[in-house]
């Protein structure tokens, strides 16, 4: 990106922020960023692939990714186990109540 593109994009974002303080800010911000992107010839897919490529070059990102992934998997397992235990406990309680009603 050259300097004029960067300036145009910064101006679009700044004006979108200022308009975002008003009632119709989301629409104005979306329109401003769309028009700025069209004017400067930005391609969302190219921006995304370039950004992901640059993220891969960060040295500590792989270690951070592994740490976060491990923590998320652990939290997910705990949540799944808790939900399964609760549902099985409810089923056991329901069966116990039905057995008492029959007997």
Q: Where are the domains of the chain?
A: 1-42, 59-103
- Say what the pLDDT of residue 40 is: 65
Cβ atoms of residues 18 and 30 within 8 Å? no
Please write the tens of the pLDDT for every residue from 45-98: 777 777 777 777 777 877 887 888 889 999 999 999 999 999 999 999 999 999
Residue in the structure block whose two tokens are 């329901």:
94
Give the mean model confidence (pLDDT) for residues 24-46: 72
**pTM assigned to the model:** 0.40
Could you write out the DSSP letters of every residue in 20-36?
HTSTTHHHHHHHHHHHH
Cα–Cα dist 87/81, whole Å: 10
**Intra-chain end-to-end CA distance of the chain, in Å:** 79
Half-sphere exposure of 15 (CA within 13 A, CB side): 15
Q: Is residue 6 predicted with pLDDT exceeding 90?
A: no
């Amino acid at each position: 990106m050259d300097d004029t593109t960067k300036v145009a994009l910064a101006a679009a974002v700044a004006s979108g922020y200022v308009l975002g303080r008003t009632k119709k800010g989301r629409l104005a911000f979306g329109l401003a960023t769309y028009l700025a992107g069209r004017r400067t010839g930005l391609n969302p897919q190219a921006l995304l692939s370039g950004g992901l490529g640059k993220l891969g070059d960060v040295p500590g990102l792989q270690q951070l990714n592994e740490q976060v992934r491990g923590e998320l998997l652990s939290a997910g397992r705990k949540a799944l186990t808790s939900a399964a235990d609760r549902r099985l406990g409810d089923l056991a309680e329901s069966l116990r109540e039905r057995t008492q009603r029959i007997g």
